[in-house]
Amino acid sequence: MNRADVLGILEEYGLSAKKSLGQNFLCNEEVIGEILDLAKLDKTMTCLEIGPGLGALSEKAVFMAGTYLAVEIDTRFQARLSDVITGNGGKVIYKDYLELVPADLPDPSFSPDVVLSNLPYYVMTPIMLKVMKDFPSCQRMVYMVEEEALGRILAKPCTKQYGPLAVLTELFGTKKKCFNVDGGSFVPPPNTVSSVIVIERSEQADWKPEMIGFVEGAFALRRKTLVNSLSSEGVYSKDDIASALAEMGKKENIRSEEMVPSEFSDLYRILQGRKDK
């Protein structure tokens, strides 16, 4: 799908980009091909696309995957996506993904092997966390995000941007920035550079969706110690957290930004073990 194609589709279906939804339609065939290469789809796989828009990825990916489901918030795209996705064996749910519940899925056991999405800045973090919570066995996520947002995903301990998203994606598996996409690859062109990243589930990782709330609680009060921040959630007492930290050889006044991702996993395991006794 090139620029002329996108402009033609917009005119044919009477559509336009909604700024409030962060819509910018991909119109670079080379980029589309590279994203699909990273997805590594085949007929044995189930694919979920969040926010297909005009179907730049969908029109090819629907034929590459064995099962294809898209979730689109904008009902204006129904006619276009009917032609591109449902007309070719895929399915579309018209709903805000952040409000999606298992009952909305065509099959309660639905679990994608691959997730594709071009994530607007304002919903990047909640959507990424929800995908990891909803589909803990997902093997690969290929996301396009604003380049400036990468810091929140790739941040290291003791840096300003280090927080739940960096910790949780690290616990889930491996993550890698693959390439940048300039504004000219979209209609309308944004004033920012985008980056394509891949997050792959690690078979060695002991990923638990419950870790999301735990790590978010640890960073809830960033200016406080980890003990004060995590205890403010009301799940664990200050004494229990301090004791668990001591068992790990950590000081009681440590802050969350000083902890590496694996240490959050260790802390959670110790605290849960004590609760289960």
Q: Is residue 206 part of a domain?
A: no
Phi-psi region of 125 (alpha: psi -120 to 50; beta: other; left: phi over 0): alpha
68 and 96 fall within a common domain: yes
- The letter for the amino acid at 163 is G
Its pTM stands at: 0.94
Question: Cβ of 65: how many Cβ atoms within 10 Å?
Answer: 24
Predicted pLDDT at 21: 87
Output the six-digit token pair for 252: 């009681």
What's the Cα-to-Cα distance from 163 to each of 131, 225, 261, rounded to whole Å? Answer: 18, 14, 10
Question: Cβ of 199: how many Cβ atoms within 10 Å?
Answer: 23
Q: Virtual CA dihedral for 98, 127, 137, 26, nearest 10 degrees?
A: 110
Predicted pLDDT at 5: 94
CA gap 9, 54 in Å, rounded: 8
CA gap 59, 117 in Å, rounded: 14
- The letter for the amino acid at 206 is D
| Helix and strand totals (H; E) in the chain | 11, 9
If one counts the domains in the chain, the total is: 2
Domain holding 18, by residue range, is 3-201
Give the CATH number for residue 181: 3.40.50.150
61 and 87 fall within a common domain: yes
Structural domain ending residue among the three candidates 201, 234, 267: 201
The pLDDT tens digits along the chain (277 residues) read: 899 999 999 999 999 999 888 899 999 999 999 999 999 999 999 999 999 999 999 999 999 999 999 999 999 999 999 999 999 999 999 999 999 999 999 888 899 999 999 999 889 999 999 999 999 999 999 999 999 999 999 999 999 999 999 999 999 999 999 999 999 999 999 999 999 999 999 888 778 999 999 999 999 998 899 999 999 988 999 999 999 999 999 999 999 999 999 999 999 999 998 776 5
30 and 155 fall within a common domain: yes
Structural domain ending residue among the three candidates 201, 220, 243: 201
Helix (H, G, I), strand (E, B) or coil at 128: helix
Give the CATH number for residue 228: 1.10.8.100
Q: Is residue 157 part of a domain?
A: yes
39 and 113 fall within a common domain: yes
Output the six-digit token pair for 185: 């690859």
Predicted pLDDT at 162: 96
State the chain's maximal CA–CA distance in angstroms: 65
